[in-house]
A and B are shown apart, each in its own frame.
Chain A
């Protein structure tokens, strides 16, 4: 067992703080981007008005139909009325529109993730093991994975509209880690000394990171679908910034795709957890509190997958299931780890 390197450990904590600060600036930039959206969108609308009947209008029209809003593509000059339900591209591909604040925000996120990564890795070296052995480490590593997964998805899809959301969650995780769960560099208790820690927990944290993304998208989906309903009734657009967000259906479909990956990941989490439990305690399933909640989460997301294939349960209801599933993930991580007694009492506190 390699020794502990406390100096490196304190550097790691410094990196974490720096990363949290940088994420905060990125958060502001993402928020600025959303706030500026009406201005940006007005620009689009005006240009659309100028080149009447061109591609932009067709796209808008298609989405109007998709959103169930009154289809009036021929008017083409929806700028003043503001009845255009959605402007963002529903394929979530990057469009030509330059959004300077969003670019700054992404650049800052990359910088923050690099610093954060240095923090996570130096923590691992300081402790001479994988950096996920207690609550502090689950949170810091988990937050890093959320940021990295977000950036990886950004490579292929324009998900910058969830940026504020994701940044907020990452910052909350880092702050919670440093304030409520801070633990200095230390060795692992024997119960955690197993290669299953590497496998089981890394997959759990990765799946949770994916669930974090889909949670954000499901919340936006609910907002968007409400807004679409309001617009369809001819009401005013109270959530102008939501025009940067794709329509509810695209959000649902895309978060479904991510959720399937996360669900497979969670299935592995459950299975590997069971295998580890067998190695450590001699039984692969004993309804320990942590096992109960891992199971509950699995079943809720299985319900979500079913809902997507059940008439009357797609859309809003499925989104709620995805949100409930994520709340269970959070509950499992915070309350269960800390306040419920069980064999898994290794929060490091």
Chain B
């Protein structure tokens, strides 16, 4: 443990240096002194520890409150539900924790502290790498690991030949050795091994900075977007091809490469074997045809969950799916005002889906429909339709209808999955004489008052894909791997110092004493000492108990 207590000195040479200066400057610290003092504090090990713990605490609220980047709609809903204190939470940036001022302040301080830590330590280590191991302590016997050996006079060894032997043994064990006083009465040596431990530590901490920078690069130069794609539709990678697009801070639309992806077919398999998970999906499989550019040859590929498509420098990820009933709506004049698949948003495991159909082209009045799509419709005891299974066993639409002004011309952006009924009159509904619209596949329903008709022609599936490009991803991975490498090296190599002193007794025997000291956590020091002792014994043809006279704590108590 002694080493642990001493350790904070390590790599903080500047602090030691400045503290002596501080003593002088105490009466009037002055602005420079203040800065110096603040810097010393910031880069101290204790501050690093506190900032780390603070970072852990600060990350927690992000899991307690909905976060805007991930779930903007949930945040809006939360603010509506908690009108009293919601806005206060919002002021405290609790819905944007990871981009908040306070969270950023903590990690930036931590990383400044980290850099302020790395640089002086790297410099100190660079020096240590080029200077001889430290001088031999006067009393080796005080070291945590200590032992003696005696070479009988019959061997004809001398103090200096024994020291040379010890140096050879230590060099063989990859120590850097510095022999001193070789011709003196009591020659001695200092040796050190495991410089790589500190290097590992520095590499680890530096790589953390690398990871942070890579993530920042991703935020600057990356982009992401979403698109729902019904069977038969094609996505072309241009800005208009996206349903939603979030560019990075420095994005330029010229970066989009004009590839295309057509969804040919989407297959889903459900679990029909188990009881509790009956009807749970076990396979999603999207067959697509891709083209790298408009003139490139078409390629058949499959897109699955956990198995993205790589194309044009982006990744395409299958993140959702649902049904898209094919609808035909005729208006009051008998013209086809809408024809095609309309994606319905699934709300549960059996794909009970909400549907919104807007028919802006209907004449003389615009038409709108809201309701449910049920893949396997059944009636419950109360006469309410529900879906019994995710497979399309009996697809059915349950809709209310409206006519009037859909409000699409006002220019303000509208959610396609939301019908604003403010300026609409209801035609169909549970409480109206005309009742709601119930349509099975192939059926047509005539709207009241000659407003037109709606036909449920058939069923297609749609998929939701995320399209992403993140140039920070690969560097982040590389830095992370390097970090782990450094971590492992720094945790599992021991940095050790060894000293040996020899002397010749009057009767011609050569006395050897040796001692070892670890820098940093090192549970293998006792084992190392035993190995060195054994190597020395072999060299001098001695025998005896392996760890014989090793003083100090019981061997290897970790």
Contact = CB atoms under 8 A, between A and B. Distances in A.
Interface of A: 1, 3-4, 59, 62, 89-92, 183-191, 193-194, 196, 249-250, 253-254, 256-257, 260, 263-264, 267-268, 271, 274-276, 278-289, 292-293, 295-296, 299-300, 302-303, 306-314, 321, 336, 340, 348
B555 interface: yes
Contact of B466 (A4, A281, A299): A281
The 6 closest A-B pairs by CB, nearest first: A282-B317, A190-B305, A194-B306, A299-B56, A186-B277, A289-B63
Contacts of B60: 292, 296
Interface string B447-480: 0000000000000000000111010010011001
A260 B277 contact: no
A310 B53 contact: no
A190 to B, nearest CB: 4
Contact of B484 (A253, A267, A275): A267
Interface stretch (B137-145, B184-192, B278-286, B379-387): B278-286
B319 A185 contact: no
B333 interface: no
Interface string B272-298: 011111001111100000000000000
A310 B308 CA distance: 45
Given A296-B56, A299-B52, A186 B46 contact: no
Nearest to A194: B306
A187 B70 CA distance: 28
Contacts of B181: none
Given A271-B480, A292-B60, A313-B46, A254 B69 contact: no
Contacts of A303: 49, 52-53, 56
Contact of A189 (B59, B281, B477, B520): B281
Contacts of B521: 256, 308-309
A310 B46 contact: yes
B558 to A, nearest CB: 5
A296 B8 CA distance: 25
Contact of A336 (B63, B308, B473): B63
Contacts of A264: 484, 487-488, 491
Contacts of A3: 273
A307 B520 CA distance: 13
Given A186-B274, A281-B317, A293-B63, A308 B4 contact: yes
Given A91-B555, A264-B488, A282-B317, A310 B45 contact: yes
B5 interface: yes
A312 B46 CA distance: 9
Contact of B520 (A92, A267, A309): A309
Interface in B476-512: 476-477, 480-481, 483-484, 487-488, 491-492
Contacts of B271: 186-187
Nearest to B270: A187
A292 B63 contact: yes
Given A287-B62, A293-B63, A187 B484 contact: no
A187 B280 contact: yes
Given A90-B557, A275-B477, A190 B484 contact: no
B45 A186 contact: no
A184 B275 contact: yes
B42 to A, nearest CB: 15
A309 B7 contact: yes
State the majority secondary structure of interface residues on B.
mixed
B544 interface: no
A87 to B, nearest CB: 14
A299 B55 contact: yes
Given A193-B305, A292-B60, A300-B56, A286 B70 contact: yes
Contacts of B467: 282
B10 to A, nearest CB: 8
Given A276-B306, A289-B63, A306-B48, 5 more contacts: A282-B467, A287-B98, A299-B55, A309-B7, A321-B53
Interface of B: 1, 4-5, 7-8, 45-46, 48-49, 52-53, 55-56, 59-60, 62-63, 67, 69-70, 97-98, 215, 224, 271, 273-277, 280-284, 304-308, 315, 317, 319, 466-468, 470, 473, 476-477, 480-481, 483-484, 487-488, 491-492, 520-521, 523, 553-558
A183 B274 CA distance: 11
Contacts of B319: 281-282
Nearest to A127: B274
Contacts of A189: 280-282
Contacts of A287: 62, 67, 69-70, 97-98
B49 A296 contact: no
Contacts of A299: 52-53, 55-56, 59
B49 A310 contact: yes
Name, among B62, B481, B492, the residue most crowded by chain A CB atoms within 10 Å (CB to CB). B62
A319 to B, nearest CB: 14
Contact of B8 (A250, A267, A274, A309): A309
15 contacts: A89-B554, A185-B274, A186-B277, A189-B280, A190-B281, A260-B492, A268-B484, A271-B480, A287-B67, A299-B52, A307-B49, A309-B521, A313-B46, A314-B1, A314-B4
Nearest to B110: A299
A92 B49 CA distance: 30
Contacts of B224: 282-283
Nearest to B4: A314
Contact of B557 (A1, A183, A250, A302): A250
B31 to A, nearest CB: 29
Contacts of B555: 91
Name, among A3, A183, A185, A281, the residue most crowded by chain B CB atoms within 10 Å (CB to CB). A281
Given A91-B555, A309-B45, A336-B63, A190 B274 contact: no
Contacts of B273: 3-4, 187
